[in-house]
Structure formats: structure tokens, C-alpha cells
Structure 1
Amino acid sequence: MKLKNYIIISIGMFIGLLTYSQNGTLKRADNLFNKFSFVNAAEVYHELIDKNYNADYATRKLADSYAFMRNPDSAVVYYKKAVEQPNVPIAYYYNYAQALRGVKNYKDSRVWMKRFKEVGGNIKQEKFTKDSDFLNAIFNAKQKYFLTDVKFNSKYSDFGAFQHNGIIYFASSRDEGVSTKHLYGWNQEPFLDIYMALNNTDSLINHKSKLKGDVNSVYHDGPVTISKDGKTMYFSRNDFLKNKLGKDKLGSTNLKIYKAILVDDAWTNIEEMPFNGSDFSNGHPALNPDETKLYFASDRMGGYGGSDIYYVDINQDGTYGKPKNIGAVVNTNKNEKFPFINSEGALFFASDGHPGLGLLDIFGTVSDKKNTIVSVINLGVPVNSSKDDFAFFMSVDGLSGYFASNRSGGVGSDDIYAFDRVPQLIIEGIVTDAETNQPLPNTVVTLLNTNGDEIAREETDENGEYIMNIERDTDYTVSVTRIDFEKTTLPVSSKNLERSVKSIKTDIVLNHKQKEHIQKTEFYPIYFDFNKAVIREDGTSELDRIVNLMVNKYPKMTIKISSHTDSRGTTEYNNELSQARAVATYNYLVNHGVKPERIIEYKGYGEQQLVNNCDGTINCTEAQHQLNRRTDFIVIAME
């Protein structure tokens, strides 16, 4: 492969990889945002803005990230930029108004709230925003969670769904199909056991679906959390081990946390955690992503009131640290229960002490750069209701999960509900050559709104692929351009799509431009004196002819310049001298009116491309050497 071709291909591959990298960066930012990792998401959105890659979209998401980090000062800055964007979603008028309220700029807040109403915005005054908390107002301005049916609920209590390797583990008081039924005196339902289901639609869940091994007992068992390798389970259970039921000083039995190990598909080797106690309850265990901490709820002495969220460190030698209260940002003088840590380390929990819609509500937390929790967010409807909502679980991608509720309309006392979050919508496709059906890398794809304003622009990667984030319920135009191909535009709409749709596939075929018949034009070499790189007077006439043709007759012509030396002198020196001749030629043409971008390349080749046999092995005349001291011109395109 010739060096110049290798360079061109390498540059093309680099541009393609760069575009692919930016696509991956955008996906990573959205993924972090979906999982409440707003600090890390903000850093990536900043990076995208600095690279001017989908900058409008990144600006809006950056503003949201700052709002959720309870940083209204920064949120206001980027919301202001967002509302100045053409065709911005009207929800950002509302978000900007709320952020202005967060910095106590009530005058401007009223202006933008009025504008939001004028363009058709609908404002719902949720109960949990009555404390003038701008953060919850922004987060819950638009419904983010949508519920789907769970077929394995029973007429009894079902809660605590936890999914691992495709299996859903959950606690249930169903105990049908066995000869002996133990009833819990509190609600006259059977005691809780841990069951397994394969999916939401698995309705045949009975005593045969119980967890295998020694975890289930004659008292309450569950909910559970499982290590990533699937070999260790932590679970709640009444104070019961080795057929001995523990009681406190008043004769009541509290909850404790136990550990089980998977041996031959059965959970066994039950071990009580060392931080338990018979005079208080520990329950609802949850592991953090790197499994160095175990979170749980406890009503032990020394908390803020009711039950609080605690954690213990899991040491490398398998021992456990002392319980630590997670602090007053999360814990209140009432009850905080059912912690869950998602894949980005964000804590979710149920509480009846924070402003909510009713009894227990589910909240998410936001942390700063030091991983210190700085605020909590009510997840809003439909996750929360006027009844108890608890036992939250989120999938690794942050787009689906489960929670439990005793709200009206269920089939039992507590039911499990599955949720989906609306995924970011993308438009993607492949740009191909109509004649060869081959993909076209480095092709410019531009996203326009209905007014023709540019929303985003990118180049296809080495496989001719492109991908861009778009808003839902919006009309767009996609414009595709490439040298030597006809410009193509086509309308794209994201209106009336199902919530589950994540991508609009739009492949684009480009046609070659129709070639006009142009008379072949021949350029003649210009020559240089020995050991010099100065344009001679006899060379200016040819250069002036080239300028005239390129400027006046063929305004789209592109050329390459290649300059050479004779064989006298060292190879290194001749390379430098020929490059100086190429630069001198380039400068002359540009200085006389040829646009620089129409000269694709100007390069010196030293003595590599002699036109005769004067390579130093034979005697040559000065006239023969002169033929090698030249600059040649190659026409790349005439139009």
C-alpha cells in the first residue's frame, strides 16, 4: 500500500473511531443519569458540550443533573441556555422556572411559569412539593415510571422482588399446597417464605417454587439480596436459628439478618450476622455494587427515631465492621426501611418521614463528588401512592425494576409491581452507496428541527453507521451530505411511539452526482534551479495558467502537488529540498487566488520519482538532471 493511501485510510479510520467514541460517551452519560449518578453524568455532559457533540441535548441534561444535585445556581445557568435553544421541549420552561425559584428569583420564575402555561404546559400540584422543594418539582414534572403487570402476585402478601441472573426472588406469605400452614398472628396470613419466578408473566408459583435449601423456616423469611457471583445470599428472618426462637425482654421476636451459601443448587450453611441483637430488629439487607458494604434497616438504640438505614463494612477477610448510621439527610424521626443500592451506588429507600404522597413512599438519593448524600428525591407517581410503597429494586441499566405496594386495585394485601422507565430515544442507521451498496464512512449527517435549525451533527463511523439522541413526540428532518454525492433529506417523526421503543431505524442511500463532460485538462511541470526552491520566471506562466483554470473555468477542481529533486545530494537533504519546492508552489497558487482546501496535498518526494536513469550510477548532463528538478500537478476532481 502506498504511504499516501495509508495515511488517508488511517485518517478516515481515526475520524470514524472518534465519532464512535463520542456516540459511546453520550450513551454512557445517559446511562449514568438514568441510574441517579448525576455527578458523573454531569462530567460527561460537560465533555460532550466541550466537543460540541449533541451540545443542545447535553446542555439540557446537564441542567437537569445540576438540579438533581441540589445545585440551583449551576442549574439556572444551563437551564437558561436550554430555553434559548430552538424547538426546546416546553418542559424546560417549567424546569427553568423551578430552578429560578431555587435561587429565590421569584420574579423571573413567575415569568417562565407563565410562558410554560402559554405554550400548553400542564401543572400538577403534587403533595410532596408543598414544602417549596424545587428539586422534587423538577424531577416529577414529567412522569418517568410506567407500570406493567406482574402475574405471580397472590391473594396474600408479596413483596421484596430481587432479580439475579434472570430469576426473580421475592418474599410471599402464600403457603398453598402444603398440609400444615403456620399463620402469623399479626394479620392471620401464613409466615413469609422466599419464592422464585422466571419472569413477570410466570403465574404458576406455588410451594414447588420455594427457594431450595435451608433459608425458609417456619417463621418469616425474606426479602433477600444476592452477591454478583450468585454464591452468597443475605436475607431477613425472625430471630430463629437451629430450631431456637429468640425473644426480647418483652417476649417479642425481632428480625435478624442471616447469610447463606449456595451449595449444589441449594442455599445452606446459614450464618447469623454478628451485628444482630435480640432486643432490636435488623432487616432488609442490600449490597453495594462492589460488595464492600451491606446496608440494612434497624430500630436499634441511637438512631434518629423509628427505624433508620445503617450499613456495615464487609472486610476482605470476610469479617464485618460496626454498624454506621447513614445520617440525617436520609433518616428522620420516623421510619426508613428497605434500602436498595443500584449499580452506580445510588441509595433508594422507603420512608414515612420525608414529604410524600401518603404512608411509606420510595425515595432516591443524590450524592456529591465525595459520595456524600446531599439530598433525597421522591420518585413520584405512579411508583408512590397514598398507601404504603416500598421494597424498590432497579435493574443494572436503570430502565426497569420492581417495588411493592398495598394500594387499591391489587390482588393481595401487598403486591409486587413492575416498572419501566422511558428510555432515551435515538435515531440510527447506515449510510450506503446506491451503486455499490457499500457503507459510506465519514459522511455528514445533520439533524434539523421543523424550522430548519440544526439540532445535532455527526459523521458516520467506519461502518457507515450514525446514531443521535432525539426527543419523543417531535418532528425532525435528517440531512445527509458527502462530496461527489447528491444531498439527501428525509423527514423523521418520533410522535405516537410506544414507550418501549428505544430506536428509530433510518438507513439512507446516497446517489452519485451526475458527471458533466469536461474536456481533459493537462498541467505541465514547472522546474527549479539546482539546490534551490524558488519559483523561476519561466514557471510563473504555467502557475498563472493553473490559477486561471481553477478560479475561472473549473471552480470545483481539486489538485495535488508533488515536488522532486535530482539524485545529487543525500536522501535526507533531497527530501527537505523537495518539500520546500512543494511549499513554494502551494504558496504561489494560494496567494494568487486558489482556495487552500482545493489543494488536497502538497508533498516532496525527494529523488524517489526520477523521470530518467540519472540515479547517480551513470553520467548525466545538466539538462538531464534538470528534468528531475520539478513540480508535477495531479488533477483529483474537475467538479
Structure 2
Amino acid sequence: MKAHKIIFILALSLVFSSGFAQKGKIRQATKEYDNLAYLKTSEILLEVAEKGYTSVDLLQKLANSFYFNNQMEEAAKWYGELMAKNENIDPEYYFRYAQALKSVEKYEESDTWMKKFAASDRSDLRGRAFSSTVDYLAMIDEASRELVVKNLEINSEVSDFGTSQYQDQLIFASSRGNGMKYKWNEQPYLDLFSADKQEDGSYGNVEQLDSDINSKFHESTVAFTPDDQVMYFTRNNYFEKKYRSSEDGTNRLKLFKATLNEDGEWDDIESVHFNSDQYSVAHPTINVKGTKLYFASDMEGTLGMSDIFEVDINDDGSLGDPVNLGPNLNTEGQETFPFINSEGDLYISSNGFNGLGGLDVFVIRDFENKRELKQPMALENIGKPINSPKDDFAYYENLGTKEGFFTSNRDGGKGDDDIYSFIVPDCEQTVEGVVKDQETQEPIVGAKVTILDAETNEQVNQQIVGADGAYKFELLECEKEYLIRIEADTYATTEERFTTPKKQQKLEIQTLLEKDEVALEPCTDLAKILDIPIIYFDFDKFNIRRDAEVELQKVLAVLNKYPTMTIDVRSHTDCRGPASYNERLSENRAQSTRKYLINNGIAANRLTAKGYGESRLVNDCGCEPTNDSNCSEAEHQLNRRSEFIITGINGEKCPEN
């Protein structure tokens, strides 16, 4: 039983042409096809096609038979034959062909047909998702983790899938029962089973749930309220011994609710109020607060084959009205098997977004909080080894016990669909970077890098960097605030606060240090050495501005610290106004700056000053018409400045002075 078979049984309205000799077998195949007995259909259609009798209609039905039975290698072959006819077909077949190719790991060829599919309808969310992340394989590799997945001992030679935990039991669906067979795959109808957790953590002692839950038709996928008193489960449209079908004759899926009675048995089974004979409702999951139920459906308003919906669970246990979760996670494809974990992360299975093939598992992290706050959401493919070229679905995890489960029909399984387990890893982050000089961008050898807990200020780890200036800290917790402190001789210590994300990933932090101790030498600009901002003047003025006074206090402090230092104050203007005027203006500014320093205690013989007018512009904002017209006021102001050139210190003189 493949994932998308049990999800939604669709009536496919494809018309066969009977204009050739094999029409007797074609009629029989069409009848089986309409009854959704795909195994028989593919055998008959394959026999006809292999004799060389093909048409667009026949190839569509043949390829679809393999596609919906998840025999992707055969589906890819016959979709390829269909494409080779080069006739006008529904673009949906481009998508199916691309999916089939992906399932046999022909990713480049798959991308070619996805591009054609995306071009055929630019509004289709599947095509848009593909086009927006053309490097999706690299992104999936980056998201992949080193997990060990194990095929559960309780798997059988038939279909086993869709797990949930109830106390110390694993609840799942299986075709291992002895009931009547489902003609789609010649296996017994699905029933719900339980397996007990053993002392070594494995599961065994498989038993069917009681007969009030299991019927002679399909049951699958359950969810329990946090108090373990109510169970929601999926069943064919069969209730109180009545079997109902939609107007097109399809028996749909419904959600049912059961309550635990005093004897520990599931009782009072009832159909949820938004079930319908005309569409399917399936695969429930309930949040940790017991306030939301999520499920899959193709009810009115669905974007594609099936969408994810949510519904409120009221205080009295009743359910509100379903709400489609929208195009953030629903496409024209198939979104199904939702699971909400205890932290509010929403997992789904989908074939509408970029993946490795078939259904892949995706997650929106912190979904419930982001939805409540109306914040942007990002859907992530959770990568390998949970996802594969085959169908991977029905993700479930218990963050308390660190147990995780999912279902897959990947190669090497015991049966049709198998349940796999894994240990949910602790989320650990790696933080790395290189300590560099802010001005030269050279590594700072011997810098000390310390990671501290931002809440307690306790040291978590510490490293001394080598010749490459690189540091790397591993095993940091996710979703935790830290401080990174970097210290080095002759540099100002810097400290930065950061929070590790919820998703495990490598973080890079830019760590640039400013010089704290600088060797002062003649002929250099004091402003540049000590990173003192430019001293600005207002247009056509030479008075000391308040912001300039703050900076001149820094110059004053340096002169007081080094009493042998002498400096030359150099003032400059922009190009606007006559050159002779600018020379006088800049001279006044230089003398104004010198006077400020003298008035604040610096000996006059330590200071010289000169105005250079517009003769030393720092940019191309000269006042020729071709230049001046392109310069902003801010660009002109860069030329209205003062500089502080060290002319002498400790007996050494600048030669140019």
C-alpha cells in the first residue's frame, strides 16, 4: 500500500480511444482502471503496449497505472514513450514524468521536465517552488543529518505505516489482518494495531485494536489528545454498518472520534461534523496543548490533490470549522500526513515541493508561534536519510523519549511500506569564524575567543587561535543565547551576543577587532590611526560644531597623553565658491581648530595649522559642470574636513615638516 493510494482515491476521467484491433482488452482494462484496480490494469495495458499498439490515451493510462502503484521505473519508461509522441498533452504529465524520473534518481532529466512544467503554468505553486530553488539538491544535502534509520522488527511482508504513540505502545496501520482483500493491491484491508515497548526500547507483541475501532474496510493513522482520553482515527466511509460513496461512486475517507471508557476500551465512536461523502478527511495530529487538530483533505477550497487543514478543539471537546493552511505549505500536488510536535513544528509529506522523489517529509519550524504572530514561514525539506527517491511519509517524533518514526517504501524493506525508526538527535550547533584586524583584514595570531552563557555569564568554552586566526566551537545548544568574547594584545576587546537557531546548522560569526594600542609615528594622520571621524564644518562656516567638539576632545586627550607630540591641523573645503574664498575659509577653519585646542590647554608651539581650500579633494566632486551636477550634499561634505598630521613625537620629526 503506497502512501498516496490510501490518502485519496481519485476518479480519473481519462478517455480511451478504441480505434485499433485490441479494443476488447482495452475495454476490460478501462473497466478495471475506473474501479481503481491498478495492478490488473497495468498487466493488460502492458501486454497491449508491448505488442506495439500504443496511443496517447493508452500510454497515459499505462503510465498512470504504474505511477499510482508507485512502480516509478516502469512509470518513467511509459511516460517517456508518451512524451516521445510529441503531441499536445496536459502539462500535469510533465510533472508526473519529472516525479517518476526523480524517484529513479534521474535528477537532471527530471529538472528538464520540471522546467517545462513550470513554464506551462507560471501560477502553479509546484512550478514556482521548483523555479525559486533550482539548487534544491544542494539545499537538501545541507539539511541532511547523520542519522541511523532502522527497519522495525514488527514490519510484515505487506503494508505497515503511520505511527503514533499511546503510553507505552506504538499504534500503526497494517494489512497483515485476515479480513477481505482490497482489490487495488490484493492485500487485506488496513486495520489498526498496537505494539508494546520492550525493555530494550524495541517494540513487539503486536495485537489488533478492538473490533469497535477496526472494521472490514480501511482504518489508519491515529492521534490522541494530551490526556490520552480521546482518539481520532481515519476510516473508509463506513459507519454503523453503512457503506457510503460519493456521487462518482468513490468511497472516501473520514475522521472518527472515540472516547476511552471506564473499562479502558475505546467507545462512543462518532463521525466528526465536517466529514462528507463527497471528499476525504484523513490523517489527524493534535498539538501538545490539545487545542488544535491538523488533518489532510481534498474538501472544497483545496489547492491540489490534498491539502493540510487545521481546526480548533474547543474546551468542551467539540471541533470548530476547518481552515485551509494556505499556499505556505499547500500546492496543486499532494500535501498529507501532517504531524505537529511538542515544540510546535509542523511536519508534512508532499510531492508538490522540491524533493528527492515521491513524497518527501518537510517541516515548518515553530509553525504555531509564527502562525499566531503572523510571521513569515519557511518550508524546509528535512533531507536524508529520512527522505529518499521513494515515498517517505507519516513522520512522527517524541522529543521526550527521543524516538522518531517514519514510513517509506524505499528499497530494502520487508514489505510494501515499512516503518523505520531513528533516534532524534540533540540539536547541536557549530559556531566558527576567523579573528581579523578590522583595518588590514589580516588574521590576529594568539587571539583568545571565549563562549559564555548569556544568561549566567559562565564560560562554556575557550580557544586560542593559531596562525590562521580561525576558531570553531561545536556542541552548542540550539535556541540558546550566548556571548562570544574576543581578546587580543593591542586590540580592544569585543563581545557579541547571538542566539543559535532551532535548526541544526553551521554558524559563521564575523569577528573583526579594532586596534587599541597603536604605535604613533610622525607623518601619519592621527584621525586615521585612532579611527577618529572627520571633523566637519557647516557650509560657508568655520565655527566648531557640537559634533566636531566631541571629536576634538579625543584629539585633546591624545595630546595630553603624549606631551612631546606636535601636530599640524589641516583644513579643507569643497569646491563650491571661488577658490580664493575657499582658501580663506579653510584657513579660518584650521585656525579655529588650533585655537580650540590652545584654549583647552595645549601649548601653542605644539600646534601648526593651515588651510588648503579646495586643492585636496577626497573624491571627484570638483565643480566642473560635468562633475558638480552628479554630487550630492553628502559627497560635498566629505571634502569639508580637518586632518591632524603628527609632525613630531619623542624627538622624531616628520621630514615634510
User: Which of the five TM-score ranges fits, normalised by the shorter chain?
Assistant: 0.3 to 0.5
Q: Relative contact order, CA 8 A, sep 6+: which one is greater?
A: 1
TM-score (norm 2): 0.44
